Amino acid sequence: MAGHSKWANIQHRKGRQDAARSKLFSKLSKEITVAAKMGDPDPDKNPRLRLAVKEAKGQSMPKDNIDRAIKKATGGDAENYDEIRYEGYGPNGVAIIVEAMTDNRNRTASNVRSTFSKNGGNLGETGSVSFMFDRKGEIVYPASVGDSDTVMEAAIEAGAEDVESDEDSHVIYCADTDLNDVSAALEAALGESESTKLIWKPQTTTELGLEDAQKLFRLIEILEDDDDVQNVTANFEVSDEVMAAL
């Protein structure tokens, strides 16, 4: 199994505990509010907001929550958040990118640095690992939407760059600047996606054994549990046997 993104998708499909789902909705709401505040509150006129709303719907976030997050931005009572990217290394040299939104840079930096150091990682400078990733659009469909040939044909027609299909899902990649157009074309051909978002796609991956995988997953889980952290990406790979043991 390659990549943190697919691991996160598997987590989602297996279901989340209520507390984790509440935290996920909180992070999605924050992105919607920030996107609406930075641009037009109408998703049709604001590409970033349109993507944020689409991802929230893909994660089954209630419409009332989405509308409330947009109104918060237009009501003038929304907090001011700084967007920060942290980069570092986890167990066995796995490269990690942490994207955060915070109203207190010192608090977030301290928490992220502490989490890395206490869980076998090292926080580096900005740019220390991001060169090992490509910024891409990622669109995920369930396997039930069609066979790999059908999805590949639709993806090529929509202007996508690559498709990875397995027994659970079809993961479609495109240039980051094309995500809105490609996702709209795919929606017309295949219906609503499970997830549509911008990601950091690893150029290469580091294969982990059981012990290192346990340490890395622990580090990622603690980072993701931080209210200021929006996304965590890592360039790891684990075998099916290791995944089963985990």
Q: How many domains does the chain have?
A: 1
Cβ count within 10 A of residue 156: 13
Average pLDDT score over the chain? 87
Q: Is 176 among the domain residues?
A: no
Q: In 3D, which of 169, 200, 232, 183 has the Cα closest to residue 54?
A: 183
Q: Which pLDDT score is estimated for 16?
A: 47
Token digits for 147?
């066979």
| Most confident of the following: 14-23, 33-42, 152-161, 189-198 | 152-161
The residue-averaged pLDDT of 33-62 equals 87
Q: Is 12 among the domain residues?
A: yes
pLDDT band at 8 (very low <50, low <70, confident <90, very high): low
The residue-averaged pLDDT of 195-215 equals 89
pLDDT band at 19 (very low <50, low <70, confident <90, very high): low
Taking 3-state DSSP, the helix, strand and coil percentages for the chain, each rounded to the nearest 5, stand at 50, 25, 25
- The full 3-state SS of 46-64, as one line of letters, equals CHHHHHHHHHHHHCCCCHH
C-alpha 67/C-alpha 17 separation (Å) is 24
Q: In 3D, which of 240, 245, 231 has the Cα closest to residue 8?
A: 231
The residue-averaged pLDDT of 45-50 equals 87
Cβ count within 10 A of residue 151: 23
The residue-averaged pLDDT of 207-229 equals 90
Q: Domain residues for 10?
A: 4-74
The residue-averaged pLDDT of 12-27 equals 68
The residue-averaged pLDDT of 228-242 equals 88
DSSP of 93-156, one letter per residue? G-EEEEEEEES-HHHHHHHHHHHHHHTT-EEE-TTSSGGGEEEEEEEEEEGGG--HHHHHHHHH
**Residue position matching structure tokens 């980051």:** 176
- Report yes or no: 100 and 111 within 8 Å, Cβ to Cβ: no
Give pLDDT tens digits for 84-139.
999 999 999 999 999 999 989 999 999 999 999 999 899 999 889 999 999 999 99
Q: Which CATH number belongs to the domain containing residue 55 in this structure? A: 1.10.10.200
Q: Is 60 among the domain residues?
A: yes
Token digits for 171?
């993961």
**pLDDT tops 80 at residue 223:** yes
C-alpha 245/C-alpha 89 separation (Å) is 24
Q: Which pLDDT score is estimated for 165?
A: 92
Give pLDDT tens digits for 134-185.
999 999 999 999 899 999 999 999 999 999 998 889 999 999 999 989 999 9
Kindly report the length of the chain.
Answer: 246
Q: What pTM was estimated for this model as a whole?
A: 0.84
